[in-house]
Structure 1
């Protein structure tokens, strides 16, 4: 057996797979000595996702050597659809197959094909942002759902003097959500200068679904620059999502 790992809460992995399946058909999971890494870009080259889960987060972590496996996200997402919080997940990787076992009151096991997925060469993004906001994820999620009804774009604007984040629609039908540093939703606001940029509502909603397993989100952006969203998941997992600005 090339890989055997176990994690105490299968619902976290389920949420990750659901999020990834909205932007990709297949992914490569890389099992390294220090943990699991997933790095991929959507076909339109608009969004880059980087997932890392440290070895210490797992109740079991056994490798013969650094290994990779490719899985079909739609298939795995369907298999994990009925996973509940607190159920245990075990992943075993062989040359030709990947076995997923979920243990709650009973144990269910699924075996899927280990695909040979072409792993894209994605350079590390080195970006400097002027504005950074850490806040509770749910208010942002609700604002994006409101904006989805109005249009397909969202403007993020940060007033550095007033320490205020505006989330609004650029369309004729106006919607504005104001979040200030004194708001109970804000954990921290850091800004060197005023920043304003426009992004896709759909692409932001894809990743904001991780609020099921992460309470907070950090946004970093500058005027007419990409947006970086960062989530810390249960067990110190980390997700970074880099989204290009709308044209």
Structure 2
């Protein structure tokens, strides 16, 4: 028997909006310590890792560890109309995965527990030459501005004084964040770096900016982009995206 209660269903809504952009089905690994998830899109451009420790749940009952598999489109439909302050209850007896949204009105859903293949990719600590912490809304707006002019975003840190988001296409757009500015909390540059990424993959994970105040960013020249989001107090989401060649 597995039963967990998420105190803010909206967190799961934004989380699965992001995951659903990458995969059609997902497998939650339920352990005595928390809920874990790894998913990679079919083109192997982006990988998302989710770690939700048990202390972020209102109730966490795991009599036997296991996996819960379901369609990401189904969970998105379940959570489509959740409101702030509503709880999400998830439980399973093995054969089915059950969801209940608890608010002014109680809504219940039941889906067959799917066998979803688990990604067999060893976890590795990604070392980057640039490390930054940004206010989530600032990086979100920067990416939205790039979308206006093109499909590729260039991220550059020429020195410890500045971080630049740049888009080129039908026009040119630049967002420059100076060290010490309100939006750029910290910036470490071990080596000047510049890299380009597909804006559509980056845009898909920006849903998490609605439930995360600060985003940690890391990259090196022509190397993967690393984004870390803190959600629900102690929950963590890591997003790794491959660069594109221009």
Question: What is the TM-score when the length of structure 1 is the normalising length?
Answer: 0.96
Q: Distance in 1 between matches of 2:69 and 2:217?
A: 30
Q: 1:221 aligns with which of 219, 228, 233?
A: 219
**Deviation per CA, 1:109-153, whole angstroms, max 9, x where unpaired?**
111121111112111133211101101111211121121121110
> What's the counterpart of residue 130 of structure 1?
129
**Deviation per CA, 1:206-225, whole angstroms, max 9, x where unpaired?**
11111110111111000111
C-alpha RMSD of matched pairs (Å): 1.1
> What's the counterpart of residue 19 of structure 1?
18
Q: Which moved more, 1:170-179 or 1:206-215?
A: 170-179
Q: For 1:134-145, list aligned pairs within 5 A.
A: 134-145=133-144
Q: Distance in 1 between matches of 2:148 and 2:167?
A: 10
Q: Distance in 2 between matches of 1:246 and 1:171?
A: 15
**Deviation per CA, 1:61-100, whole angstroms, max 9, x where unpaired?**
1111211011100111011101011111110012211110
Correspondence 1:48 to 2:47: yes
> What's the counterpart of residue 193 of structure 1?
191
Q: How many residues align?
A: 245
**Deviation per CA, 1:25-78, whole angstroms, max 9, x where unpaired?**
000000011100001111110001000000111111111121101110011101
Question: What is the TM-score when the length of structure 2 is the normalising length?
Answer: 0.96
Q: For 1:1-247, list aligned pairs within 5 A.
A: 2-161=1-160, 163-171=161-169, 173-247=171-245
Where 2:232 maps in the other structure, the secondary structure is: coil
Structure 1: tracts of 5 or more residues without a match? none
